[in-house]
Structure 1
Protein backbone atom coordinates (compact mmCIF):
# COMPACT_ATOMS: atom_id res chain seq x y z
CA UNK A 1 0.00 0.00 0.00
CA UNK A 2 1.83 3.07 -1.25
CA UNK A 3 0.00 6.09 0.20
CA UNK A 4 1.48 9.55 0.65
CA UNK A 5 0.35 12.60 2.62
CA UNK A 6 -2.04 15.10 1.10
CA UNK A 7 -0.03 18.31 0.95
CA UNK A 8 -1.79 20.44 -1.66
CA UNK A 9 -4.89 20.81 -3.80
CA UNK A 10 -3.62 18.44 -6.49
CA UNK A 11 -2.88 15.72 -3.91
CA UNK A 12 -6.33 16.31 -2.40
CA UNK A 13 -8.14 16.02 -5.73
CA UNK A 14 -6.20 12.87 -6.62
CA UNK A 15 -7.09 11.34 -3.24
CA UNK A 16 -10.77 12.21 -3.71
CA UNK A 17 -10.74 10.60 -7.13
CA UNK A 18 -9.19 7.45 -5.72
CA UNK A 19 -11.64 7.38 -2.79
CA UNK A 20 -14.48 7.59 -5.31
CA UNK A 21 -13.07 4.64 -7.26
CA UNK A 22 -12.76 2.58 -4.06
CA UNK A 23 -16.25 3.26 -2.70
CA UNK A 24 -17.44 -0.25 -3.56
CA UNK A 25 -14.43 -1.91 -1.91
CA UNK A 26 -15.31 -4.50 0.71
CA UNK A 27 -14.27 -4.14 4.31
CA UNK A 28 -11.21 -6.20 5.26
CA UNK A 29 -9.77 -6.33 1.75
CA UNK A 30 -6.65 -4.52 0.56
CA UNK A 31 -8.87 -2.07 -1.33
CA UNK A 32 -11.06 -1.57 1.74
CA UNK A 33 -8.00 -0.86 3.87
CA UNK A 34 -6.73 1.60 1.27
CA UNK A 35 -10.10 3.34 1.28
CA UNK A 36 -10.02 3.63 5.09
CA UNK A 37 -6.55 5.19 5.10
CA UNK A 38 -7.33 7.58 2.25
CA UNK A 39 -10.57 8.66 3.92
CA UNK A 40 -8.65 9.52 7.10
CA UNK A 41 -6.12 11.54 5.12
CA UNK A 42 -8.84 13.38 3.18
CA UNK A 43 -10.71 14.17 6.40
CA UNK A 44 -7.56 15.54 8.02
CA UNK A 45 -6.82 17.73 4.98
CA UNK A 46 -10.40 19.03 4.87
CA UNK A 47 -10.42 19.79 8.59
CA UNK A 48 -7.23 21.79 8.23
CA UNK A 49 -8.06 23.61 4.98
CA UNK A 50 -11.86 23.85 4.97
CA UNK A 51 -12.95 24.43 8.57
CA UNK A 52 -16.70 24.42 9.06
CA UNK A 53 -18.31 27.61 10.23
CA UNK A 54 -21.05 27.17 12.79
CA UNK A 55 -24.51 28.42 12.00
CA UNK A 56 -25.76 31.76 13.23
CA UNK A 57 -27.59 31.06 16.51
CA UNK A 58 -30.85 32.67 15.40
CA UNK A 59 -30.77 30.82 12.08
CA UNK A 60 -30.04 27.55 13.92
CA UNK A 61 -33.04 28.11 16.19
CA UNK A 62 -35.32 29.03 13.26
CA UNK A 63 -34.14 25.98 11.29
CA UNK A 64 -34.84 23.72 14.25
CA UNK A 65 -38.26 25.31 14.73
CA UNK A 66 -39.07 24.71 11.07
CA UNK A 67 -37.88 21.10 11.18
CA UNK A 68 -39.87 20.32 14.33
CA UNK A 69 -42.93 22.37 13.45
CA UNK A 70 -42.50 24.67 16.45
CA UNK A 71 -43.87 28.16 16.97
CA UNK A 72 -42.31 30.98 19.01
CA UNK A 73 -44.70 30.05 21.83
CA UNK A 74 -42.99 26.64 22.04
CA UNK A 75 -39.71 28.39 22.91
CA UNK A 76 -41.10 30.19 25.97
CA UNK A 77 -39.90 27.46 28.41
CA UNK A 78 -36.38 27.76 27.00
CA UNK A 79 -36.07 31.51 26.39
CA UNK A 80 -38.68 33.22 28.55
CA UNK A 81 -41.71 35.39 27.85
CA UNK A 82 -43.02 35.48 24.28
CA UNK A 83 -41.75 39.06 23.89
CA UNK A 84 -38.27 37.86 24.82
CA UNK A 85 -38.56 34.99 22.30
CA UNK A 86 -39.50 37.54 19.62
CA UNK A 87 -36.53 39.73 20.59
CA UNK A 88 -34.15 36.77 20.30
CA UNK A 89 -35.60 35.61 16.98
CA UNK A 90 -35.35 39.16 15.61
CA UNK A 91 -31.73 39.51 16.73
CA UNK A 92 -32.54 42.31 19.17
CA UNK A 93 -31.61 40.37 22.32
CA UNK A 94 -28.63 38.03 22.67
CA UNK A 95 -28.95 34.56 24.13
CA UNK A 96 -27.96 34.20 27.77
CA UNK A 97 -26.01 31.22 29.08
CA UNK A 98 -29.17 29.84 30.68
CA UNK A 99 -31.07 30.15 27.38
CA UNK A 100 -28.25 28.43 25.52
CA UNK A 101 -28.31 25.53 27.97
CA UNK A 102 -32.08 25.13 27.75
CA UNK A 103 -32.13 25.39 23.94
CA UNK A 104 -29.37 22.81 23.70
CA UNK A 105 -31.15 20.42 26.05
CA UNK A 106 -34.64 21.05 24.69
CA UNK A 107 -33.97 21.22 20.97
CA UNK A 108 -30.61 19.50 20.58
CA UNK A 109 -28.99 22.50 18.88
CA UNK A 110 -25.20 22.26 19.25
CA UNK A 111 -23.84 24.60 21.90
CA UNK A 112 -21.13 25.63 19.42
CA UNK A 113 -23.82 27.13 17.19
CA UNK A 114 -25.68 28.83 20.02
CA UNK A 115 -22.62 30.61 21.45
CA UNK A 116 -21.68 32.23 18.13
CA UNK A 117 -22.23 35.96 17.73
CA UNK A 118 -25.49 36.70 15.98
CA UNK A 119 -24.73 37.63 12.37
CA UNK A 120 -28.27 38.31 11.18
CA UNK A 121 -28.66 41.51 13.21
CA UNK A 122 -26.68 43.20 15.93
CA UNK A 123 -27.99 42.02 19.26
CA UNK A 124 -27.72 44.55 22.03
CA UNK A 125 -26.63 43.15 25.37
CA UNK A 126 -29.31 43.85 27.96
Structure 2
Protein backbone atom coordinates (compact mmCIF):
# COMPACT_ATOMS: atom_id res chain seq x y z
CA UNK A 1 0.00 0.00 0.00
CA UNK A 2 1.25 3.45 -0.87
CA UNK A 3 1.44 5.61 2.24
CA UNK A 4 -0.39 8.92 1.92
CA UNK A 5 -2.67 11.22 3.87
CA UNK A 6 -6.13 9.67 4.35
CA UNK A 7 -8.71 11.96 2.77
CA UNK A 8 -11.97 10.00 2.76
CA UNK A 9 -13.81 6.99 4.19
CA UNK A 10 -12.72 4.67 1.38
CA UNK A 11 -9.05 5.40 2.02
CA UNK A 12 -9.71 5.11 5.75
CA UNK A 13 -11.25 1.64 5.32
CA UNK A 14 -8.35 0.56 3.10
CA UNK A 15 -5.87 1.72 5.73
CA UNK A 16 -7.73 -0.19 8.45
CA UNK A 17 -7.72 -3.35 6.33
CA UNK A 18 -4.00 -3.00 5.71
CA UNK A 19 -3.40 -2.47 9.44
CA UNK A 20 -5.27 -5.72 10.11
CA UNK A 21 -3.13 -7.55 7.55
CA UNK A 22 0.07 -6.19 9.05
CA UNK A 23 -1.03 -6.97 12.60
CA UNK A 24 -1.61 -10.60 11.62
CA UNK A 25 1.94 -10.75 10.25
CA UNK A 26 3.22 -9.53 13.65
CA UNK A 27 6.30 -7.95 12.06
CA UNK A 28 9.56 -7.56 13.96
CA UNK A 29 10.45 -4.01 14.98
CA UNK A 30 12.54 -2.16 12.44
CA UNK A 31 11.25 -4.12 9.46
CA UNK A 32 9.57 -2.55 6.45
CA UNK A 33 6.22 -3.98 7.58
CA UNK A 34 6.49 -2.67 11.15
CA UNK A 35 7.39 0.79 9.84
CA UNK A 36 4.41 0.70 7.47
CA UNK A 37 2.16 -0.38 10.34
CA UNK A 38 3.37 2.42 12.58
CA UNK A 39 2.88 5.07 9.89
CA UNK A 40 -0.58 3.75 8.97
CA UNK A 41 -1.69 3.87 12.61
CA UNK A 42 -0.54 7.49 12.83
CA UNK A 43 -2.38 8.37 9.63
CA UNK A 44 -5.57 6.69 10.86
CA UNK A 45 -5.34 8.43 14.23
CA UNK A 46 -4.95 11.81 12.52
CA UNK A 47 -7.91 11.14 10.21
CA UNK A 48 -10.07 10.15 13.19
CA UNK A 49 -8.95 13.19 15.17
CA UNK A 50 -9.92 15.53 12.33
CA UNK A 51 -13.14 13.85 11.24
CA UNK A 52 -14.55 12.27 14.39
CA UNK A 53 -13.44 14.60 17.14
CA UNK A 54 -15.41 13.64 20.23
CA UNK A 55 -15.63 16.55 22.64
CA UNK A 56 -15.88 16.15 26.37
CA UNK A 57 -19.34 16.56 27.87
CA UNK A 58 -20.31 19.71 29.66
CA UNK A 59 -20.09 19.43 33.49
CA UNK A 60 -23.83 19.32 34.17
CA UNK A 61 -24.42 16.64 31.54
CA UNK A 62 -21.52 14.63 32.99
CA UNK A 63 -23.07 14.85 36.46
CA UNK A 64 -26.49 13.81 35.15
CA UNK A 65 -24.98 10.93 33.19
CA UNK A 66 -23.06 9.67 36.21
CA UNK A 67 -26.19 10.01 38.39
CA UNK A 68 -28.05 7.81 35.92
CA UNK A 69 -25.19 5.31 35.79
CA UNK A 70 -25.01 5.10 39.59
CA UNK A 71 -28.80 5.17 39.98
CA UNK A 72 -28.66 8.34 42.09
CA UNK A 73 -31.42 10.83 42.79
CA UNK A 74 -30.97 14.56 43.28
CA UNK A 75 -31.17 14.11 47.05
CA UNK A 76 -28.10 11.84 46.86
CA UNK A 77 -26.00 14.82 45.76
CA UNK A 78 -26.85 16.94 48.83
CA UNK A 79 -23.69 15.88 50.75
CA UNK A 80 -21.51 17.07 47.85
CA UNK A 81 -23.36 20.25 46.85
CA UNK A 82 -25.10 21.63 49.93
CA UNK A 83 -28.88 21.30 50.08
CA UNK A 84 -31.75 20.10 47.90
CA UNK A 85 -32.45 23.51 46.41
CA UNK A 86 -28.78 24.04 45.52
CA UNK A 87 -28.70 20.63 43.82
CA UNK A 88 -31.79 21.54 41.82
CA UNK A 89 -30.41 24.97 40.90
CA UNK A 90 -27.12 23.43 39.78
CA UNK A 91 -28.73 20.72 37.64
CA UNK A 92 -31.02 23.36 36.09
CA UNK A 93 -28.00 25.60 35.38
CA UNK A 94 -29.15 28.43 37.63
CA UNK A 95 -25.92 28.38 39.67
CA UNK A 96 -22.35 27.43 38.80
CA UNK A 97 -20.17 24.79 40.34
CA UNK A 98 -18.02 26.06 43.20
CA UNK A 99 -14.53 24.78 43.84
CA UNK A 100 -15.71 22.65 46.77
CA UNK A 101 -18.55 21.19 44.66
CA UNK A 102 -16.08 20.32 41.89
CA UNK A 103 -13.76 18.61 44.37
CA UNK A 104 -16.58 16.74 46.13
CA UNK A 105 -18.33 15.61 42.93
CA UNK A 106 -15.08 14.52 41.34
CA UNK A 107 -14.26 12.30 44.30
CA UNK A 108 -17.77 10.96 44.88
CA UNK A 109 -18.87 10.43 41.29
CA UNK A 110 -15.42 9.74 39.80
CA UNK A 111 -15.75 12.48 37.20
CA UNK A 112 -12.42 13.88 36.00
CA UNK A 113 -11.70 17.40 37.24
CA UNK A 114 -11.06 18.56 33.66
CA UNK A 115 -14.70 17.91 32.82
CA UNK A 116 -16.12 19.60 35.90
CA UNK A 117 -14.10 22.80 35.44
CA UNK A 118 -15.08 23.17 31.80
CA UNK A 119 -17.26 26.26 31.20
CA UNK A 120 -21.03 25.60 31.10
CA UNK A 121 -22.99 27.05 28.16
TM-score (norm 2): 0.72
Return closer, same or farther for 1:12/1:87 CA change in 2, 3 Å cut-off: same
Larger radius of gyration: 2
1:1-126 residue pairs with structure 2 within 5 A? Answer: 4-9=3-8, 11-19=11-19, 21-22=20-21, 25=24, 27-28=26-27, 33=34, 35=37, 37-119=39-121
| RMSD over equivalenced CA pairs, Å | 3.0
User: 83-92 vs 36-45, which deviates more?
Assistant: 36-45
Give the match's secondary structure for 1:39. Answer: helix
Q: CA deviation at 1:35?
A: 4.6
Structure 1 gap ranges (5+): 120-126
- Runs of 4+ aligned structure 1 residues displaced above 4 Å come to 26-30, 34-37
Structure 2 gap ranges (5+): none
Between the aligned partners of 1:51 and 1:117, the Cα distance in structure 2 is 19
Give the match's secondary structure for 2:24. Answer: coil
Aligned residue pairs, count? 117
Return closer, same or farther for 1:53/1:28 CA change in 2, 3 Å cut-off: same
Q: CA deviation at 1:84?
A: 0.5
Kept after mapping to 2: 8 A contact 1:54/1:113: yes
